Amino acid sequence: MLALRKQLNDAAPVKKTDKGEVPAFKLSVNDMVIKAMALALRDVPAANASWTDSAMVMHKHADVGVAVSIPGGLITPIVRRAEEKSLSAISSEMKDLAARAKNRKLKPEEYQGGTTAVSNLGMFGIKDFAAVINPPHATILAVGAGEERAVVKNGEIKIANVMSVTLSTDHRAVDGALGAELLGAFRHYIENPMSMLV
């Protein structure tokens, strides 16, 4: 994933601004995590659900909330229909949403609702953690830092970049087995990131 991210960023077209020429986009790991989670929800539609007092709601699209730290707490602006968007579109939208969130300029419809959320503390060096579900979401993905670790491949110890993620679920809507299926789909996209481009 890191190699593809670098390749895509290096190939970004250049646009002219008042500050000179700058890349049209700069993808982050979080942009790729958002896309992978959205595609995983598309592939495992039973996990794209919300529990309400009157019924379980099954969602048609993956509207992914992303935890953004603001003074006094967190807010989760939502990338709507993330499964349909390109990585560069998700990146651009997240930069805009995060900037407006920090300036308290989001409209309610930009942070209310959603079908899942992503909370990434990797940039703070946190290896792994468990995130608390933000209703009406039935799931939240806690993303830790990527780091080099020793792994066994074909009977030999190798060094690999490994990222830990933890999925919290509301078991009324997404039980452990369904959550495991969702994580398996997410893992497929993270470990085969080219599949997010087609």
Active site amino acids: 171
List, in sequence order, every residue forming a beta bridge with 70; answer none if it has no partner: 73
Own/partner long-range contacts of 122-130 (Cβ < 8 Å, ≥24 apart): 122/29, 122/146, 122/163, 127/164, 128/164, 128/165, 128/166, 129/166, 130/166, 130/168
Distance CA 24, CA 95 (A): 13
Give Cβ neighbours of residue 121 (< 8 Å, ≥ 6 apart): 129, 142, 143, 144, 145
The tokens describing 112, both together, are 């209310």
Residues 149 and 128: their CA atoms lie apart, in Å, by 14
Are 6 and 195 a contacting pair, CB within 8 Å?
A: no
